[in-house]
Structure 1
Amino acid sequence: MRDVKPEGKRARQRRATRHRIVESALELFVGQGYAATTLEQIAACAGVAVQTVYFHFGNKRTILIEGIGVKVVGDDEQVAMIDRSWAQEALTTTDPAHAVEVWVTGSRSIFARVAPLLWILRDAVGADPDMAREWEINQRQRRTDHRAFAQHLADLGALAAGVSADRAADIIYTLFSPEMYHLLTIQCGWSPADWETWIHRMLTDALFAGPDPASPPTPGASSADEARPA
């Protein structure tokens, strides 16, 4: 096994500076808007010279893209989301109900960190071809990851009759879309916990032969609105 060399002092300082710039920029993007934020403001918030921001990133777009990548996985380690411990747990367990629970909970954590940034990226698609390409890359990666999860459930023989791995991937990709999360948590005012409960129920009902008996009950739901959180 190849030894991994410890990170040197200069590399640690450079990484810390990039992290500070990214976190400062994301705070400004969400707080006052992407278009209104300048590199000078980012530099001031991060406590660095504007030339330092230019040296590390060059422009706001690059900062936003790196920030989204960091928030998706939760840190700046070079480990893809699909290779994270929680994702691997969902992709290796032989218990379909547990796999769904882990996948839903992990996805909720990701959305809690990255949803406002994805909306900034999506809003910029029509005016910026580079942002449009980044959005497409993000969408393709999401679909690839959800397809891997769907295939795992298919391999376990957990999918309902008539639900193929491809159809399951389509369902998961749609339910776990940033648009769905934004619509429910921002426009409809649901809490992230409400979103998690509803997504869990919708996913198990759609993919498995019947409702998952381990599915958490919807707080305050009646027979007329049992699919919607109270």
Structure 2
Amino acid sequence: MADTVKTRTYRSTLRAEKAQQTRRSVLLAARSLFVEQGYEGTSVAAVAAAAGVSVDTVYASVGRKPELAVAVVDMVLASSDEPVPARERDYVVAVQAAGTAREKLAVYAAALRTLIPRVAPLLEALRRAGEVDEASARAHRAVMDRRAANMLLLARDLRATGEVRDDLSDQDVADIVWSTNAPDYWLAMQSRGWSATRWSNLLEDLWCRVLLSP
């Protein structure tokens, strides 16, 4: 009886590992294709072919195209081969570890300098797709709502330093950061010839001037 249980456990472990490997292959293929060909130019069938699996396997392991896009965004934001929750990302940990509000905002702005130019085109394409596809619209709204929730956590972290203006609520702080670091704001500034470095420096200066006490 014990040998039977061990065999079943072993087989179950192998299945779980194989499923994880398949999911990782799908995610890596999706990231590569989205980066190279864009959201519109990438089909689920192409992702499946690149990963060496069936379309149904892509659906089962990750989801449909909007879910693939969100997973890839999370991979890029985490600088990882796997989607990582926001609280576990290196730059979020670094922001939380910084001692002053100015230091926290500087760390965050510096991280956005690299990250937003990489995810903004994908999120903008997902938004456009949402104009005609409800699943894409839901996925885009979920990302934006998640960003807003994360900015509220940042606002509370900033508040704990004692440096945030008293006349601004945590929600005010979160909304200001959320709007100014939005992907479409970066794309607008990029269209005016701004570099990612100049944009991130602007964010740091803007946030310090607007959010913090003199």
Q: Is the helix fraction higher in 1 or 2?
A: 2
2:47 to 42, 46, 57: 42
Q: Deviations over 1:16-63 (max 9, x none)?
A: 332332232333334434344333322333344545435434532332
Structure 1, unmatched stretches of 5+, are 1-7, 211-230
- State whether structure 2 residue 182 is matched by structure 1 residue 177: yes
Q: Closer, same or farther in 2 for the Cα pair 1:33/1:165, shift >3 Å?
A: closer
Match of 2:112 in 1: 107
Secondary structure of the equivalent of 2:131?
coil
Aligned to 1:222: none
Runs (4 or more) in structure 1 with deviation over 6 Å come to none
* Displacement after TM superposition at 1:161 (Å): 5.0
1:14-33 to structure 2, matched below 5 A, reads: 14-33=19-38
Q: Which has the higher contact order (CA 8 A, sep 6+)?
A: 2
Q: By how many angstroms is 1:107 displaced?
A: 2.9
Q: Percent of counterpart pairs with the same letter? A: 27
Indicate the SS of the match to 1:123.
helix
CA distance in 2, matches of 1:104, 1:144: 18
In structure 1, C-alpha distance between the alignment counterparts of 2:194 and 2:149, rounded to whole Å: 28
Q: Residue in 1 aligned with 2:206?
A: 202
Q: Which runs of 5+ in 2 are unaligned?
A: 1-12
Q: In the alignment, is residue 149 of structure 1 matched against residue 154 of structure 2?
A: yes
Task: State how far apart, in whole Å, the 2-side matches of 1:85 and 1:72 are.
Answer: 9
**What residue is the counterpart of 2:9 in the other structure?**
none
Q: Structure 1 residues 139, 58: CA separation in 2 closer, same or farther (over 3 Å shift)?
A: closer
Asked whether the 8 Å contact 1:81–1:87 carries over to 2, the reply is yes
CA contact (8 A) 1:39 1:60 kept: yes
Match of 1:117 in 2: 122
1:65-118 deviation digits (Å, cap 9, x = unpaired): 322232232325574212334313323433222111112123334324422221
Q: How many positions carry a matched residue from both structures?
A: 202
Q: Distance in 1 between matches of 2:90 and 2:41?
A: 37
